[in-house]
Amino acid sequence: MKYIQTVEAGLLEFSVGKFRYLELKKPFPEEAILRHISSNVTFVIFQIHSQYQNTTISFSETLLPNASETGTDKGLVSILRPEQSMCTWHLETLDPEPVQNVAIPLSYSESDPIPGGCNLEFDVDIDPNIYLEYNFFETTIKFAPANLGYARGADPPSCDVKMGPDSRWRLQYDVYQYFLPENDLTEEVLLRHLQRMAEVPQVQASAVKVVTLTADDKTSVSFSSLRGQGVIYNVIVRDPFLNTSTAYVPTHTYACSFEAEEGNCSSLGRVSTKVFFTLFALLGLFICFFGHRFWKTELFFIGFIFMGFFFYILITRLTPIKYDVRLIVTAIAGSIGGIFLVAAWWRFGVLTLCMLCVGLVLGFLVASVAFFTPLGNLKIFRVDAVFWVTFSCIAIFIPVVFMGCLRILNILSCGFIGSYSVVLAVDSYLYTSLSYITLNILRRALHVDFRRAFVNVPFQTNDFIVLAVWGMLAVSGITLQIRRERGRPFFPPHPYKLWKRERERRVTNILDPSYHIPPLRERLFSRLAQIEGLFQKEQPAGERTPLLL
């Protein structure tokens, strides 16, 4: 089956509700035509889509700001006159490379609401398009309010003169989100899945409804940006009085650029990120299976996470340094934090303080998982104070609950935190939604406006595999450590006390061979003298004066 149908010179014939693939080239604008429109149709929405190259659609050959649209997902509303049975649109592209598109005209009756019919913000008088903006943190969609439908030849209803039930204020807007297959950036997949998001029944059957807005709400919705993951958005405007609905023109994003020289959609993982999280995962994997036995190594791991997380937030919010430099500085600061926690344990030996740090990191992960669920999209948690207080309570609750059984708390922390580091490493090479468990919390701390974003993510085959690996590693590590530590002391003794006791024993016990060991300074000088002797010329033995005859 031929995927792309190349446009021939002349008119492009379209049928209502049927998609058509076409290819547009820069010097050859084309004209699309829809014939034999039924008399009960009052308006037609013509929409055209491409992956990342812009296409222009207009009512006439001359491009006018209020009668044309340019972009990857654009459409126009044609209000039909009495007796009109044909519509035409002009299509072209300014991109030097050929652009593959899919287009469709959709017809509606006088009882259907008109998307963008009360537009006061954008250029086109009746604008059915959804405007999308994104950055590293969030993706925001905006659209113009709709108006009530009306018969051919009649005057459109007034938008803002009255606000009763017989005006456009009774309309409601359902916002839908649809995820493309993970790790698939192909044009064919996008254009095929866009066909599921153009008409009302297919949108309702295929996509997930995120939120319903009323006419009193602002026509703008924010989502968490999923870099490298294809997402399609659409809005269905409903008239609850007449039980009719109309779909806006769907829009899509990958939260990245296909044409950028650095950091484009095809090369998302930075080398610095891969190195950092690969080393972090190796240490985490060791902690997952041997963390409780190697107690000081685990403390270094926990201190690294503690200091690194807060230091990254600090330097990101206060300094404009580049990402690679931030990552290096974070690694250094995290290492200092790990060394400090180990030193604190060695000198003071306060087990409760060390286990509080361990429990808080596990509590942080548990709280992140809780807000990764639909709980995180509740409206009440858009208030920063409510969110952070609730998050902190969950994080503190974990060490408090396990304070009576610290060894179990420590082994659980080793298993879950160590195995999750593997998930983060996998995400630096291959997209997985599970990395957003902690990344969403980091974004919330870094970006003020992220509180208004919905944090939905896809959960597809890759995610189920990574989740299974995470679970198996955690269970295996926890089980192994519980079995191995059975019958052993719960925690190692205070290192400083052991060192001090051993030192006193050596001083007082002259029978101990270590008592006769010279001080460190004398041993160093002795070793240097031995090394120096290796480079001196050996003197021959015997008499060196001549014999007297």
Q: Which residue has the tokens 């044009």?
A: 187
| CA gap 429, 8 in Å, rounded | 43
pLDDT at 285: 96
Beta-sheet pairing, 30-34 with 11-14: parallel
Q: Which residue would you say has higher pLDDT here, 502 or 249?
A: 249
pLDDT at 513: 59
Q: Is the pLDDT of residue 320 over 60?
A: yes
Give residue-wise pLDDT tens across range 243-302.
999 999 999 999 998 887 776 887 767 889 999 999 999 999 999 999 999 999 999 999
| Confidence tier at 549 by pLDDT (50, 70, 90) | very low
Q: Is the pLDDT of residue 541 over 80?
A: no
pLDDT at 54: 94
Beta-sheet pairing, 20-24 with 99-108: antiparallel
Q: Is the pLDDT of residue 383 over 60?
A: yes
Give residue-wise pLDDT tens across range 24-69.
998 888 999 999 999 999 999 999 999 999 999 999 888 888 889 9
Average pLDDT over residues 400-407: 91
Tell me what percent of the residues of the chain surpass a pLDDT of 70: 91
| Helical spans, DSSP H, in 162-293 | 187-194, 200-206, 271-290
Q: Is the pLDDT of residue 4 over 70?
A: no
Q: Which residue would you say has higher pLDDT here, 549 or 227?
A: 227
Q: Is the pLDDT of residue 517 over 90?
A: no
pLDDT at 133: 95
Give residue-wise pLDDT tens across range 336-382.
999 999 999 998 888 999 999 999 999 999 999 999 999 999 999 99
pLDDT at 287: 96
Q: Is the pLDDT of residue 386 over 90?
A: yes
Q: Quick one: how far is CA 162 from the chain centroid?
A: 43
pTM (predicted TM-score): 0.87
- Cα atoms in the 13 Å half-sphere on the side-chain side of 472: 6
Worst-scoring range by mean pLDDT, 180-189, 228-237, 253-262, 288-297? 253-262
What average pLDDT is seen over the chain? 89
| CA gap 103, 82 in Å, rounded | 26
- Pair 248, 235: CB distance under 8 Å: yes
Average pLDDT over residues 223-251: 96
Average pLDDT over residues 506-527: 64
Q: Which residue has the tokens 């649809």?
A: 178
Q: Is the pLDDT of residue 545 over 70?
A: no
> Which are the contacts of 86, defined by CB distance < 8 A and separation ≥ 6?
33, 34, 35, 36, 37
Q: What is the CATH number of domain 11-154+168-253?
A: 2.60.40.10
Give residue-wise pLDDT tens across range 435-487.
999 999 999 999 999 999 999 999 999 999 999 999 999 999 999 999 998 87
Q: Is the pLDDT of residue 7 over 50?
A: no
pLDDT at 518: 67
Give residue-wise pLDDT tens across range 83-129.
899 999 999 999 999 999 999 999 999 999 999 999 988 989 999 99
b or e along 486-506 (b: 16 or more beta carbons within 10 Å of the residue's beta carbon)? eeeeebbebbeeeeeeeeeee
Q: Where are the domains of the chain?
A: 11-154+168-253, 271-485
| CA gap 25, 467 in Å, rounded | 45
Q: Which among 390, 394, 400, 403 has a CA at the least distance from the CA of 363?
A: 394
